[in-house]
Amino acid sequence: MSFFDFAWVKAYVPRSLYGRAALILLVPIVTLQLVVSVVFIQRHYEGVTDQMTRSVALELRHLRDVVEAAPDLAAARAALAGIAAPLAFRVALPDTPAAPDPPGVWDFSGRQMIETLQSEMEGVTAVDLEPDSKSVSVWLTTRYGPLRAAFDRGRVSASNPHQLLVLMLLTGALMTVIAYLFLRNQLRPIERLARAASEFGRGRVVPYRPAGATEVRAAGNAFLDMRARIERQIEQRTMMLSGVSHDMRTPLTRLRLGLSMLEDAEAAELARDVEELERLLDEFLTFAREETLGDPEPCDPVALVRDVVARSGAAVRLTEVSGEGPAMLRPMAVSRALENLIGNAMRYARACELRVVVSGRAVRIVVEDDGPGIPEDRREEALKPFARLDAARNQDRGSGVGLGLAIAQDIARRHGGSLILGESDRLGGLRVDLVLAR
């Protein structure tokens, strides 16, 4: 199971491949830098400060020993004056201890220094870090009163490690940029593969050449093989239906010619049957030639719908238009789909209304009528080729071949969309949503 499969993780991680790849790249780098920084700072401030403070504690102990060995206060002061300057101490004897402020929250070395001085020496009464003057004052108990010894903070405090931290951050940022460039080069073939697959799903064949890592190349080659097989199957289907329709048209023509020479009533009935067969063959050819209805091109979907409505008669009206802008469509195919939907509506209804909604990602054309509609449990069946649901519709208006909705659905799918059947809230009949991707 992938880490991203956990439900609580999905709410916080990016959804794009770039975002997740960046997350996988940055989390280890940031975690590593944090761990190294914490460990280094702890070692730097605690270990080094402890070692340096122990050295200063030896010198402070020597100062106190000199004071304790002096016969009087004057001799003690004279002895201190002789050794304090070489040891870089500023001393005062006696001196009243001040009330030192506690070290700051981020003063790791100060706390470590105080702890080390108190553990290494006895008689440390106070330690003042004096942050403003960058010096340290330590008061020690002696036989002549408190001894104050002041020295620079740098003698016991580790130097600022910001140089190393800055170097780590800059190096990490540089490595992240380099890794991102390499990662982008690996993700580009995946994006091109996804774009080629998406365009093929919309009926558009774009040039694609497998590239990238071995696994991505394998997926690309598999996509090309799949696309070639689908194209061959479509071509074979078209050739088969065209061949069958063409071969059947010749005997039907001879049959029509023979029936035209007869004048009885039965001949008239047979002639109508022949006409029905010819219409059926025309629908077969239309279904077979759907692949040849042009290539995708920029067009105005609203103008296309207006043109189809203008050719459909007074009973068909365009009632609402929302949005505008061009879309990559096959104009002939979309016109054929709309003509099928309008013809299907007018076969079973008295009025038909269309609405067009153009959004940023899709074009939705809604066709509604006031006919009997299609029951919900039979709508899926109605979209299948050659399905005839005349029992559910008005048989007085004629029967179809059963390819109108199937052709419209096929055209919608080849535009990366769908065909949705429902019930019209406005007219009470059938509602068909033709959704086309832009």
Q: Give residue 237's pLDDT band: very low, low, confident or very high (50, 70, 90).
A: confident
Judge whether 68 and 143 are in contact, CB under 8 Å: yes
Residue 435 has pLDDT above 90, yes or no: yes
Report how far residue 301's alpha carbon sits from residue 306's, in angstroms, rounded to the nearest whole number.
9
| Among candidate residues 248, 269, 287, the one where a domain is terminated | 287
Query: How many domains does one find in the chain?
Result: 3
Report pLDDT for 404. 79
Give the residue with greater pLDDT, 248 vs 421. 421
Do 138 and 43 reside in the same domain of the chain? yes
Residue 211 has pLDDT above 90, yes or no: no
Please state the rounded mean pLDDT for residues 253-282.
74
Do 413 and 332 reside in the same domain of the chain? yes
Do 422 and 342 reside in the same domain of the chain? yes
Do 283 and 360 reside in the same domain of the chain? no
pLDDT tens digit sequence for 155-197 = 887 665 566 677 777 887 888 788 878 888 888 888 888 888 8
| Among candidate residues 115, 130, 155, the one where a domain is terminated | 155
Closest CA to 366 of 383, 354, 382, 350: 354
Handedness of CA 58, 60, 61, 63 (dihedral sign): positive
334 burial via Cβ count (<10 Å: 0-12, 13-18, 19+) = buried
Please state the rounded mean pLDDT for residues 338-342.
90
Name the least confident of 82-96, 123-137, 247-261.
247-261
Q: Which residues contact 8 (CB under 8 A, 6 or more apart)?
A: none
Structure token digits, residue 185: 């080069």
Please state the rounded mean pLDDT for residues 44-56.
82
Domain around 279: 214-287
Do 283 and 342 reside in the same domain of the chain? no
Structure token digits, residue 291: 């692949």
CATH number for the domain spanning 351: value is 3.30.565.10
Asked if residue 197 belongs to a domain, the reply is: no
123 burial via Cβ count (<10 Å: 0-12, 13-18, 19+) = middle
Report pLDDT for 397. 47
Report pLDDT for 291. 54
Report pLDDT for 434. 94
Report how far residue 273's alpha carbon sits from residue 282's, in angstroms, rounded to the nearest whole number.
14
Asked if residue 179 belongs to a domain, the reply is: no
Please state the rounded mean pLDDT for residues 216-242.
83
Amino acid at 275: E
Residue with tokens 């050449």: 209
Asked if residue 93 belongs to a domain, the reply is: yes
Strands 297-299 and 316-322: unpaired
Residue 392 has pLDDT above 50, yes or no: no
Amino acid at 412: A
Rounded to two decimals, what is the model's pTM? Answer: 0.52
Residue 385 has pLDDT above 80, yes or no: no
What is the CA 70 to chain-centroid distance, rounded?
Answer: 80
Amino acid at 160: N
Structure token digits, residue 417: 């969309």
Amino acid at 138: V
Report how far residue 301's alpha carbon sits from residue 312's, in angstroms, rounded to the nearest whole number.
17
pLDDT tens digit sequence for 274-316 = 777 777 777 666 666 655 556 788 899 999 999 999 988 888 9
Please state the rounded mean pLDDT for residues 21-42.
78
